[in-house]
Amino acid sequence: MTDSASPQTLPLHVMRNERIADGIHLFEFRDRAGSPLPAFTAGAHIGIRVPNGALRKYSLCNDPAERDRYLVAVKREINGRGGSINLIDTAKPGDELLVTAPVNDFGLPPRAQDFLFIAGGIGITPMRAMIWQLQAENKRFRLYYLSRSAETSAFVDELSAPEFKDRVTIHFDQGDPARSFDLRPVLAERKNREHLYCCGPRPLMEAVREMTAHWSPTAVHFEAFSDAETHKPTDRPFKVRLARSGAVVDVPVTKTILEVMRDHGLEVPSSCETGTCGTCRTRMLAGEADHRDLVLTEAERGDNIMICVSRARGDEITIDR
């Protein structure tokens, strides 16, 4: 997950750096003096300043009722930007790292009673916390946990327990697309006014987005762990005309519209910065967008753009800023 504006920062001690699956480590953070940590709700994430100085976001995966610790599961991203590798290889019990207070862009609506979870690989982490919270609230859920293999998946033994037999489906495809789980029957209709939460690789989320086009948009929620779609090899620079001031800013291939606006001192609401939360939705008044978000419906894409990830298809667009 990518960086964004930082909330309160806490110096916390690393209590555990434990390998729990191939390429996945569980980290536990606590206050040195044993003081309670800021409360969080299921779906929240924290930012961790890893030893090399990079700030990386990770979903909290422990019971939200716990106030004495934060747990995160970190996947070793070989093709990432180095943050996860540095954290896994360098942080050790007893070290102190700066951790931001929890922020939730992926929270559960309090009045909903039924939930459908689709987790791809390490995308299981926020849903583990959600299961704790829903069980405490006596609410209903179904979970489809899709991954490569048991060896490369976190919390498999826990989620295979008899108590979850009728609510959790775990599927391993061994990396073979032909063995992928068919989600179409699962998503063919929205049952019991369920809210759907999906977290995992971008292709999985895009497939789920397509399969839920007939669902109410307010009932479908995504969280991204990758910013791979923010920049593509075919990207080219373009201009953004800001309708309210008449100013024109240049967006290079190395930056997003949001980043350029910040560079020019413009205050723009944002949160996830992966095109999944909807905070930076902006009216588009002219031009055509190259949409890369998982929020806007087809009907909304003609005159809206998520400026944290999407770009212009032509030389210029005009937005309502």
The series of mean pLDDT values per 10 residues for the chain, 321 residues long, is: 60 98 98 97 96 93 98 91 92 97 94 98 97 97 98 98 96 95 98 96 92 94 72 91 95 94 90 86 96 89 95 96 92
pLDDT attached to residue 4: 43
- The residue type of 50 is V
Count of beta carbons in the 10 Å neighbourhood of residue 49:
18
- The reply to whether 213 and 153 lie within a common domain is yes
Cα separation of 16 and 122, whole Å? Answer: 18
From the CA atom positions of the chain, what is the Rg in Å? 20
Question: CA 264, CA 220: separation in Å to the nearest integer?
Answer: 34
Residue 193 belongs to a domain:
yes
Same domain, 152 and 180: yes
Overall residue count recorded for the chain in this entry: 321
Distance CA 29, CA 99 (A): 9
Give me 206's structure tokens: 């895009």
pLDDT of residue 229: 60
The CA–CA distances, whole Å, from 90 to 22, 34, 51, 275 equal 17, 24, 7, 31
Pairwise CA distance, residues 79 & 191, whole Å: 38
- Residues 85 and 138 placed together within one structural domain of the fold: no
Q: Which two tokens stand for residue 11?
A: 């110096």
The pLDDT value recorded for residue 268 is 87
Residues 121 and 95 in one domain: no
Q: What is the pLDDT of residue 7?
A: 64
Between CA 198 and CA 56, with CA 143 as vertex, the angle to 5 degrees is 45
Q: Are residues 311 and 257 in the same domain?
A: yes
pTM for the full predicted model: 0.87
What pLDDT is stored for residue 118 in this prediction?
98
231 found inside a domain:
no
Which CATH number belongs to the domain containing residue 14 in this structure?
A: 2.40.30.10
Q: Quick one: 195 and 127 in the same domain?
A: yes
Domain tally, the chain: 3
**Helices vs. strands in the chain: H and E counts, helices first:** 6, 18
| Domain-embedded: residue 1 | no
Range of 142's domain? 114-224
Q: What is the pLDDT of residue 3?
A: 42
Domain assignment present for residue 109? The answer is no
Q: Is 251 helix (H, G, I), strand (E, B) or coil?
A: strand
